[in-house]
Amino acid sequence: MKCPGDERSRESPAPAEAQMQAGAENGGRVSRCCWKCSVTQLKKIFWGVAVVLGVCSSWSGSTQLAKLTFKKFDAPFTLTWFATNWNFLFFPLYYLGHVFKSAEKQSPKQRYRECCRFFGDNGLTLKVFFTKAAPFGVLWTLTNYLYLHAIKKINTTDVSVLFCCNKAFVFLLSWIVLRDRFMGVRIVAAIFAIAGIVMMTYADGFHSHSVIGIALVVGSASMSALYKVLFKLLLGSAKFGEAALFLSVLAVFNVLFVTCIPVILYFTKVEYWSSFDIIPWGNLCGFSILLLTFNILLNFGIAITYPTLISLGIVLSVPVNAVVDHYTSEIVFNSVRVIAIIIIGLGFLLLLLPEEWDVWVIKLLTRLKVRKKEEIPEGNGDIASGLPNKSRRTRPSMSSFAH
């Protein structure tokens, strides 16, 4: 025989039991969410480490391979032109990724038309090509040519560390042109970069050869900064497909309008080689592949990891180049050069700080202060209460063991 109370207890649990069940369910949901978040963050960190290693190895590898190539093939502009042509692969590679990744498949023509909206309502017209793509093609060529020409003049360690100053130049130009938020720490980073450039020039005693090389790589860093700021000013932000199409368009500009320059340099014997058989095609293709890999990771790595980790790969290429130079060249790491490298590296790292870093630091310090204030009264209460308080705390634990 069933009591009505028994039926009620089965149909609807008591308030205390309901609260416990609800708390357990909520706790389970929170733990599952935390687990998912932690797994996602671990994946991002894992991919971040892989991307950092990829960026570091491709950037330092391309720099070292360019230095090696110039011993057999002294033609930095021709090498720049040849490597830039490989940018044409950006959009085909992106489309392959789209086919494998996206649920809604589009034909290459449909995807191209959709990405062309980045250039305006009319797409990629002749006017847009000359006004919005051609200037960036010129800046791209100048950035790479000045960087490669600097490698001929000075060692790769100095070139790679001085190129890190482009981050400081981007901040200064963004502050002036784009009216970005003023940040004192970034001004300090820019001062570090300028001080590092001066010290790097002083490290070799202001010889004309080293001064020219430093001027070339600083010019390369400036062109890179101008490219980034103008892109943000004229075109804004781009999605992955739009960025891939834009970089492929730069390759088209390079083939159509820059091809004449290596030809002129060849016939004027500025960049001359006696026979095409002596061209180290393996070095040229290897350099182009490494540079293409570097640009792919730099532009599309943010899809799988944090942008800060990608930037770390660039600054980590400096010690890699330093180790290679130590064993392959006659570089002298005197105190001035080492201090200059550290100062520029420190400035680069300061520029990686997010805009809200000061707010985060204040919140962290506030939390630490609150915790300290909470811990002090608890400690005083334990001392004042003495042994009876301890006995009260231990009784529940003893009863629980009894159960």
Burial class (CB in 10 A: 0-12, 13-18, 19+), 254: buried
For residues 340-362, give the mean pLDDT: 78
Grouping H, G, I as helix, E, B as strand and the rest as coil, residue 182 is: coil
Q: How confident is the model at residue 208 (pLDDT cuts 50, 70, 90)?
A: low
- Contact indicator for 238, 246 with CB cutoff of 8 Å: yes
pLDDT of residue 184: 77
| pLDDT score, position 195 | 87
> pTM of the full predicted structure?
0.78
pLDDT of amino acid 351? 80
Contacts of 158 (CB under 8 A, 6+ apart): 200, 210, 213, 214, 217, 337
Q: What is the pLDDT at residue 377?
A: 58
pLDDT (average), residues 294-317: 83
The Cα–Cα gap between 384 and 30 comes to: 38
Token reading at 246: 């834009």
Q: How confident is the model at residue 389 (pLDDT cuts 50, 70, 90)?
A: very low
Average pLDDT, the chain: 81
Higher pLDDT, 389 or 159: 159
Distance CA 177, CA 180 (A): 8
Q: Is 80 exceeded by the pLDDT of residue 308?
A: no
What mean pLDDT comes out for the span 31-50? 70
The model's pLDDT over 82-136, given as tens digits with 9 standing for 90+, comes to 999 999 999 999 999 888 887 777 888 888 989 998 888 888 889 999 998 999 9
Read off the pLDDT band of 34 (50, 70, 90).
low
